[in-house]
């Protein structure tokens, strides 16, 4: 006798498929007018922040991430460095405001 056969097994209580739940979609009452911002996100492992490029609706404040990684060209090298400092971010995007974001 196989060890995987159970005598007390009842097939009536096993669902044929997983029931689907209806999701309600929250729709806005306006057309979003986005402006670009710099998101200041705290590191998950300790102190400090990293910076992302995002956009925010002027009317309701909804935020969306545009670019997760900002990079800086290293002078004299053929590569870029990720996670620039605040001063480097301000030099790259002088006219964007910086907003603290929790992800």
Please state the domain count of the chain. 1
Residue 9 resides in a domain? no
Residue 73 resides in a domain? yes
pLDDT on residue 83: 83
Domain limits for position 83: 30-100
Whether this prediction's pTM lies above 0.85 is answered by no
Residue 66 resides in a domain? yes
Residue 87 resides in a domain? yes
Q: Over the chain (103 residues), what is each successive 10-residue block's mean pLDDT? A: 58 66 80 90 84 90 87 84 86 90 81
Specify whether the CB–CB gap between 49 and 40 falls below 8 A. Answer: yes
pLDDT on residue 3: 60
53 by DSSP, 3-state: which?
Answer: strand
Residue 18 resides in a domain? no
Specify whether the CB–CB gap between 60 and 49 falls below 8 A. Answer: no
């Amino acid at each position: 006798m196989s060890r995987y056969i159970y005598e007390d097994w009842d097939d009536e209580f096993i669902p044929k498929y997983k029931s689907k739940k209806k999701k309600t979609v929250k729709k806005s009452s306006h057309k979003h007018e986005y402006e670009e911002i710099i998101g200041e996100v705290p590191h998950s492992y300790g102190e400090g922040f990293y910076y992302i490029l995002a956009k925010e609706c002027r009317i309701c404040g909804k935020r969306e991430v545009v670019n997760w990684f900002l990079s800086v060209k290293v002078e004299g090298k053929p590569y870029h460095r990720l996670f620039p400092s605040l001063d480097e971010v301000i030099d790259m995007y002088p006219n964007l405001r910086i907003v603290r974001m929790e992800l």
